[in-house]
Chain A
């Protein structure tokens, strides 16, 4: 069909813009998320790009290169709106509210030929719908990216690799371990092993609520990689309920040393390095000097 829409939008751009922004403002009510002037300028930019893409006659909004500028614009807009705290509905309303002014224009234009009017309205609505859906998806993607970033930040904060002693590292893991993030944590452990030339790494999973096959697989891979670099791993913080599920899952931790607490693991690590912890007080007591000394204040 040879739609008149492109010509009409070009000719009446100013009027459509006016009506559109009026609609949006009344639908949004009072908002402090965006100023009226911002909204106007965004609408104007969009309508201008829309008008240009329309002239191509191509209606495949999602794929064609003629609509690429609009897709970029909407992606950016959705991302900004998501971070400004707009809901998906509010964001999509930006596009969907364009329907009315377009239809109103078409109606005045084709008053005398209802068949053409119907066709034009259908085509126009389809176009706006496609753009609206695209916006919603872009918004969703924006949210996911935002959440993903926050998760990564949290992960970095919550999984420090700590040097406990010369040659002994500890990695207290906290929170949910899922593929991508676990990968990062494990890689940073391996990196630290190289940097510090450590011989023993303690992976503490006290703060990990669920150990399933995927988590186990990551643990096993890390231990194997650490071994190749000459470091032994100890897994600590295996609580009784986790031990049971590991058994039910038939996960074979093989020759990995496991301990219930980080303290136990540290003792094993010291032992492996030929180090000993001894109490100062006991030593002095053995030497029979305890009465001569004031009690130690820690």
Chain B
């Protein structure tokens, strides 16, 4: 197995009396989709926030691409190549879909402090931004104000922005949430190929998608990882069945 791009080592976070993440260790290797599942409130989103630098950890360490990133803030980690998508779409609503993607491209280019040239005349921004929108099937909506996009379109825009960042790893927090069966199916197919571009740490509630996509699955319960393994191993794990899969295993 090749060297891990992301290593999470013993990360913890406590909010008052709630242990949101408890000594969590996991890694992400090139070419894989590593799914993170667990019941609501298990600490999945907290863990993503700690990895991308939105929340400091109480203890433990995160390294990315061979660099310990514990002291870096979220923008610096994004520049190193972490692209996250949000569980609840987090977009700039008053500008167009295209502008949202262009922002990611200008961030990657490192040239944000330019004051005179109109952005819409910069083909080095508009063209790759349109390409990213095309990849998720949103090119027809490029000039639509983001607040006028439907829920599903906003989910796709989240992915398009992450693609435009050309990251070394994707961290996706429930990308299929509220997408509907057809949308989920399309996105599942898309992510299946995307893993070869950059590995994906995937938090997802859609179990069909998870078992279809994941090379490895980690199960988080009460902030702690109780099992990590392939889909079959996780299905067979009695701890997991008891803690989490109970209902769905009967389907």
Whether chain B is bound by chain A comes out as no
B-binding residues in A (CB < 8 A): none
